Structure 1
Amino acid sequence: MEKNLSYSTQSSNYRLLKFLIPSLFGLLLFIIPLPYGAMIPLEGLSPVNIGIGFLAELIKITSADYIIYIAFIVIVLSAILSILSKFIHIKNEFLNSVLNVSPFWLICRILGAIFISMTVFGFGPEVIKSEITGQTMLGILPSLLTIFLVSGFLLPLVVDFGLMDLFGTLVSKSMYKLFKVPGRSAVDAISSWLGDGTLGIMITSTQYTQGFYTAKEASIISVCFSLVSLPFSTVIADQLGFMPLFVPFYGTVCLASLACALIMPRIYPLKGFKDTTFNNVQHLKEELVPEGESIFKFSFNKALDRAETAPSLKNMLINGCKTVIDMYLGLLPLVMAWGTLALMVAEFTPFFNLISLPIVYILEFLKIPDASAAAPAILVGFADMFLPSIMVSGEGISQITQFIIGALSITQLIYLTETGAVILKSDIPLNLKDLFVIFLTRTIIALPIITIIAKLIFI
């Protein structure tokens, strides 16, 4: 009897430690921001960041002299191996799925390899390799390289050891009621907000393939909760000279984003997605708290149950390698190809000026100054998140207009050079048309809200 009791106590302690230790690391890495920049005197580090963002920045800064060449090798290798896969049978199932892609994705990988070769070595047309096209994309790739590397191996600390189950169950009722998504999506939002928008999408995609989200829920979360990070928002504010007004600036972004998150799950196109799981895997729903039981106790037990089934360190490392390889070979060429093409269209053609002509009348109706200059900046955000603020940052543009465009560019959320490309590469069932409609919908919802607040601030 005493033996059984001792074994039961040891088993209970083991479950508790298996939940607590990885989850505490998960909190430090993905949720709790700390002043790493003050602790480590290294130029370029953000003053305050979450652990995963700090590690990514640290790797990016310390490898700054050669990280672009790593990106070059990865993208060119992806194109070469994908071409070879059409002639050589790859026995390994994982590598075959990564490399043996459809003709469309193969063309994207080849274009990515061509664009990065021209940009890195400075040959070919200026329209491809210029500072405002290929060079801009080269500036984005190091961040993606490092965030994919560290998150690929460390994501299990958040998703597999009970942390998301604990948070999710605690807030499940309100999240379903307000946003039509499980409570665990709050962790996606926090990781995006404090770290990186692509990080939230990676978490969402992982949870979707594991059965925790349906197609509809994963789609809602990826376009409503994978927020632009707080550090990047400061870059936009600084570009436009609004750092002294950062609190009201970012508060405006938060209010507009909240409105989008409340409205969009209830309208087209998100409303029409099916509540089916990825490949019909078992739907791991968040259970309702039984009558009379403490919500915290129930949530804690759910977290312990999840930790008990967590993968071993060996499996974590194997799965981490697979995630990083998939992201590197599959996504980086896509970002380079689509991002460069989008910037070429935005910077060297009148396309966005032409399609934004109707927007001018809307801005004039809202009494926004410099409507003709602001209209193209509203639509060009679909290509890249930084372009709108660049377009309105010059002299002669009203401060209120700069405030509106800056806040709107952060709220729009869908950018082909980053989050859009990650969503399209993931298993989340959103296509390019869906993303463009969602981008426009977010713009329509957010623009009046931001305009009203801006006018109150600059009254």
Structure 2
Amino acid sequence: MAETTKKNSSNAVKFILCSLLGFFMFFVSIPFNGKTTIPVDHVTTLLRNLLGTTVQGYIVLIVVAIGAILPFVKKTWNKSAKDLVFSIFKVIGLICAVMYVFHVGPEELLANPDLLPYLFVTLCCSLCFLIPIGAVFLSFLTDYGLMEFVAVFLQPVMRKIWKTPGRSAIDAVASFVGSYSLALIITDDMYLKGRYTKKEAYIIATGFSTVSTTFMVVVAKTLDLMDRWNFYFWTTLLITFVVTAIVARIYPTAKVPDEYMEGITPNPEATVTKDHLKVAWHEALEAVDRSGNIGTNVLKNTKDGLRMITNILPTILSIGLLGMLLALYTPIFSIIGYIFYPFTLLVQIPDALLAAQSLATTIAEMFLPAAFVTGASLATRYVVAVCCISELLFFSAVIPCILSTKIPVKIGELIVLWIERVILSILLAGIVALIVF
């Protein structure tokens, strides 16, 4: 009896300390060196500043090279059509990295701030350090009872509205305050551990993996909306998750089987109807009891983070560059924009065609539309600013991140989901703009 009590006390301390550390690192924004963000981001910034621009560039180049070479070393490059295509894009990504680091190749690609400088410095250099550092602390967030504790209280809300477990609320918050890349590491980890079904992981990965609040600030500043920041932030948050609730009930999400990954022991949430605090505490301590060694968990998550960056950095460079070139130098997105034109007209957006055509570019990169509507009306800027975030899926970063996980998502389905999300976002944001502006 005394031994059991001692064990429970030890587990309780472990739950509280590890959960507090995980919560602090991912969810508490603190000011430091003139920047207010989460500690994981501060640690990343400190490391990047310590290394300097040149060293960062070489590290990214090495990571991209490993990512491009691995499929050929493992002989998986032609395992399927998707593997073949992405292996080719990874090689192209390596070529892009070499061009940028050694400044060889077309000057337009190297000098235009919207092309390789943006993809390599803003995206790849950031993700190359943010994902592994985030992965180091991820174990404290997912393995020591916090998700189980939160899940008991949020289970009814998450299940009814989004068809996902209560523990998925952590994923949603991690994206908004941290990064979609960190949230996707959490989602992939939970799926591989049998804590999410295929459908649940699918909904979470394609519906909660938003860009962070930091990116929202950039969009708001670009479109001169900072004087309405709180209105913009909270309506965007609401619209994003309303869209996810709708998309979770229609094709292609509706057809995804609600079953666990093959060969994995299911670990679903238990349905709780009473004594929520007591059950939450018990579930948390049970999770701690089966959590294992902290060092082993941290090492495993770090390896997963390193695996993810070798997968996504080469494709961000190649697919992102292709999308940017198509957006900047061809009429393809202007043509695609006509898909959304009837909907921008329906909600009476003042610059309906401009908004529709600019929003078509979100599939390449979420920030691109902002560049096209800086001089547009307030209502148009607001709708575009919301849709930049709530559409969620784009080829320069999020889509390669999703495809690098084990979650069963296909490229064709992601494009359908993108169209659905843009249309629904236009309608919802347009209604808000009609009422307010």
Q: TM-score range by the shorter chain?
A: over 0.9
Distance (whole Å) between structure 1 residues aligned to residue 135 and residue 428 of structure 2: 37
Corresponding position of 1:440 = 419
Distance in 1, matches of 2:48 and 2:401, equals 20
Q: Which residue does 1:79 correspond to in 2?
A: 68
Q: How does 1:110-189 map to 2 (within 5 A)?
A: 110-126=91-107, 128-129=109-110, 130-138=112-120, 139-189=122-172
Residue 396 of structure 2 corresponds to residue 401 of structure 1: no
- Report the Cα distance in structure 2 between the residues aligned to 1:277 and 1:151, rounded to whole angstroms: 26
Aligned amino acid, residue 125 of structure 2:
P
Q: How does 1:47-446 map to 2 (within 5 A)?
A: 47=36, 49-65=37-53, 66-86=55-75, 102-126=83-107, 128-129=109-110, 130-138=112-120, 139-289=122-272, 293-393=274-374, 395=375, 397-446=376-425
Alignment coverage as a number of residue pairs: 432
Code of the residue aligned with 1:74 in structure 2: it is: V
Deviation sequence 1:29-82 (CA, Å, 0-9, x none): 122x23232xxxx25x3x2x2222332233334434231221112112332454
Code of the residue aligned with 1:73 in structure 2: it is: I
Match of 1:36 among 31, 34, 43: 31
Could you say which residue in structure 2 is the equivalent of 1:454?
A: 433
Distance 1:261 1:105, change over 3 A: closer
2:14 corresponds to = 18
1:213, distance to aligned residue in structure 2 (A) = 0.5
Matched residue type, 1:339: G
Secondary structure, counterpart of 2:87 in structure 1: helix
For 2:347 and 2:426, locate their aligned partners in 1 and report how far apart those are by CA, in whole Å: 9
> What TM-score does the superposition give when structure 1 sets the normalisation length?
0.89
- Measure, in 2, the Cα distance between the counterparts of 1:358 and 1:260: 18
Distance 1:274 1:163, change over 3 A: same
Paired residue secondary structure (1:36): strand
Contiguous gaps of at least 5 residues in structure 1: 87-95
Mapped partners of 2:352, 2:229: distance in 1: 24
User: Do 1:115 and 1:128's aligned partners in 2 also have CA atoms closer than 8 Å?
Assistant: no
Distance across 1 between alignment mates of 2:311 and 2:342: 41
Q: Is the 8 A contact 2:68 2:94 kept in 1?
A: yes
Looking at CA atoms only, which structure, 1 or 2, has the larger radius of gyration?
Answer: 1
Alignment-mate amino acid for residue 316 of structure 1: N
Q: Is the 8 A contact 1:36 1:54 kept in 2?
A: no
Identity %: 27
Tell me the SS of whatever aligns to 2:363.
coil
TM-score, normalised to structure 2, is 0.93
Deviation of the 1:162 alpha carbon: 0.7
Q: Is the 8 A contact 1:197 1:227 kept in 2?
A: yes
- Kindly tell me: are residues 299 and 361 of structure 1, through their superposed partners in 2, closer, same or farther at Cα, counting changes over 3 Å? closer
User: How far, CA to CA, are the matches of 2:414 and 2:107 in structure 1?
Assistant: 29
Read off the aligned partner of 2:157 and give its amino acid letter: S
Write the letter of the residue equivalent to 1:116. Answer: A
Contact conserved, 2:149 with 2:284, CA < 8 A, in 1?
Answer: yes
Matched position secondary structure for 2:340:
helix
Q: Is the 8 A contact 1:18 1:308 kept in 2?
A: no
**1:373 aligned counterpart, secondary structure:** helix
Note closer, same or farther for the CA distance 1:6–1:192 as it changes in structure 2 (3 Å cut).
same
**Which of 333-342 and 370-379 deviates more?**
370-379
Deviations 1:288-342 (A, max 9, x none): 226xx51111111011001011131331243134213312322211211211111
User: How much does 1:250 deviate?
Assistant: 1.4
Q: Deviations over 1:361-396 (max 9, x none)?
A: 432343222233222211110111110111212x3x
Cα contact 2:135–2:182 (8 A) shared by 1:
no
CA RMSD of aligned residues (A): 2.2
Point out the more displaced range, 75-84 or 209-218.
75-84
Query: C-alpha separation between the residues in 2 aligned to 1:316 and 1:351?
Result: 46
Kept in 1, the 8 Å contact 2:139–2:298? The answer is: no
